[in-house]
Chains A and B, each alone.
Chain A
């Protein structure tokens, strides 16, 4: 995901320059990795110690994190594992760290915080290394962290020139479309530039410091308004707050837009197949919306699936769109519902029943299983991999 963020990057020569200065000779990668493995064997105690150490030294930093730190500790360990195991493949690591640096802007991370984090990281490693902690190890870790910090800070600084750390969003309307799906319209301030199909992280006031990604369901509009489709997840902190506590006037925060499920320019000379399961509709509706603005859009067939008929929460709007544009066909699909008069069955079955799609470009979004099944089915019927487009959640989803 980091790789897709537009424009900004720290020169790749960054790490090489350090190497040329001869510091690379001192940095013993194998020793560093061995030490990290030993420390990581202490399990959850390690991130627990790290955050407590950080918050005691710098109480003001605590406010940047959610109440529960459980998920946070997992994220920290995962990021460290990824950094330490990739420490010698500099290109991949740089892309990852740049993304991480830009991403941390919305949490309010400043250059000063990086020093604080570095000090606590060193203290944690030292504490858990016990007798095996040596001045050489300390020097290696210090050098490694300086490098990590400087790449992250560099990417964040470059990003500052281009966009704010986050956008203020004011909820303009909240429609409850079904038992568990709400449609929100949000006015961002300042204007938010994005590509149809991308998503932003949303933080709402009643769940501070918890960010969740949602796709815009419309192409960029002149008035800047964003449409979001929010599905209530049982026990889901943010989705529950968004579906039941937001009303017109609620202010939320929006992170920078990300995602690769977008139309490639120039458009290939192929017709489009869009397959959406549940609120996976949002990015695909945005793509269809974008096409309505083109002079000669390709032919588009959109399949919109849900478990039951009442899950087709946005069918009215889609049918209106199809009535206005003869190049757009919308087929609602319901998994199983004896009363439903349209297509029934799993999305991938219904889509393949509808004929040969090998000459199309396919865009898929929805529950992971549905997307994977449909992608596999399309590939099996002769569609080339580069014709099948799905969101790459990269390192943010495991």
Chain B
């Protein structure tokens, strides 16, 4: 900014306000916190836009009143009801605009909610998968340990000729290990099936939620949705 900041002839626009940059303060002396300055500028920008819009509405109002005076209508005749077709139209535009903004907000809320829901589902899936992995590692490790112990026992027992009793004992040990393995296998299967049921249940809930949400399409995302495999649609008039 080389000229005066507020000059009636060449007013600064809200956009110019945002692009103002300040010189860096002298060494050894700390300037304002940049973020705070930016925050302030944004606040001023918003205020400025509002003032501009108010001014336009007021100008429209002045025009309306001027026309009314020229046409000789007594003041206050159209009590609260906009007089004339043009005013009626602007009034309708404002009503529709307000309705549209409300609809936009509803859609944005629904979208934010659905986004949060998917994020949580993703996290829960990761937790479930990790837990399942940990559990299966544990079971495998234990089975492995038992098998190793059994092998060592068998090996140690091998050189000495086996008595009938020893053979019986070894068979019993083998049977025990088999049963043990079966039990663990069943255990692991039940656990895995439980997890799968949990996932199916959760998918069912998800699709029910989807159907409920069916009637209310969500807003276009500001970002491309297809993740590099496409772009956001060029929809514009």
Which residues from chain A sit less than 8 Å from chain B, CB to CB?
1, 37-38, 40-43, 45, 48-49, 51-53, 55-56, 66-72, 74-76, 78-79, 99-100, 103-104, 107, 117, 127-128, 130-131, 179-180, 199, 201, 206-215, 229-241, 244-245, 277-283, 365-368, 370-371, 391, 393, 395-397
Q: Mark B221-237, 1 if CB is under 8 A from A, else 0.
A: 11011111111111111
Q: Are A53 and B93 in contact (CB under 8 A)?
A: yes
Q: From B24-32, B95-103, B146-154, B189-197, give the one contacting chain A.
A: B95-103
Q: Are B52 and A49 in contact (CB under 8 A)?
A: no
Complex Cα spacing A55 to B89, Å: 11
A-B contact pairs, 27 of them (CB 8 A): A66-B219, A66-B220, A68-B108, A68-B218, A70-B107, A71-B219, A76-B236, A107-B235, A179-B122, A180-B122, A199-B226, A210-B217, A210-B218, A210-B233, A211-B233, A211-B235, A213-B224, A215-B229, A229-B229, A231-B226, A233-B221, A233-B226, A236-B221, A237-B111, A237-B219, A239-B226, A396-B234
Complex Cα spacing A393 to B226, Å: 12
B contact patch SS: helix
Q: Are B234 and A210 in contact (CB under 8 A)?
A: no
Interface centre among B14, B93, B125 (most CB of A within 10 A): B93
Number of cross-chain contacts by CB at 8 Å: 215
Q: Are B55 and A130 in contact (CB under 8 A)?
A: yes
- Interface size range on B against A: 35 or more
Q: Are B229 and A231 in contact (CB under 8 A)?
A: yes
**CB-CB < 8 A to B232: which residues of A?**
212-213, 396-397
A41-B227 contact in complex given A207-B218, A210-B220, A240-B210, C-beta closer than 8 Å: no
Q: Are A279 and B228 in contact (CB under 8 A)?
A: yes
**CB-CB < 8 A to A104: which residues of B?**
237
**CB-CB < 8 A to B15: which residues of A?**
37, 40-41
**CB-CB < 8 A to A56: which residues of B?**
89, 92-93, 96
Q: Are B49 and A395 in contact (CB under 8 A)?
A: no
Q: Contacting B49 at CB < 8 Å: which of A41, A75, A79, A278? A: A41
18 more A-B contacts (CB under 8 A) besides A117-B237, A391-B231? A37-B13, A37-B15, A52-B100, A66-B220, A67-B216, A68-B217, A72-B235, A72-B236, A103-B234, A212-B233, A215-B230, A234-B114, A234-B119, A236-B221, A241-B210, A279-B228, A280-B228, A370-B228
Q: Contacting A49 at CB < 8 Å: which of B93, B111, B220, B226? A: B93
Q: Are A212 and B13 in contact (CB under 8 A)?
A: no
Complex Cα spacing A199 to B224, Å: 13
Q: Are B229 and A280 in contact (CB under 8 A)?
A: yes
Residue of A nearest to B96 (CB): A52
**CB-CB < 8 A to A206: which residues of B?**
214, 217
Q: Are B107 and A67 in contact (CB under 8 A)?
A: yes
Complex Cα spacing A368 to B218, Å: 24
**CB-CB < 8 A to B14: which residues of A?**
41, 43
**CB-CB < 8 A to B225: which residues of A?**
212, 233, 236-239
Least CB distance from A217 to B in Å reads 9
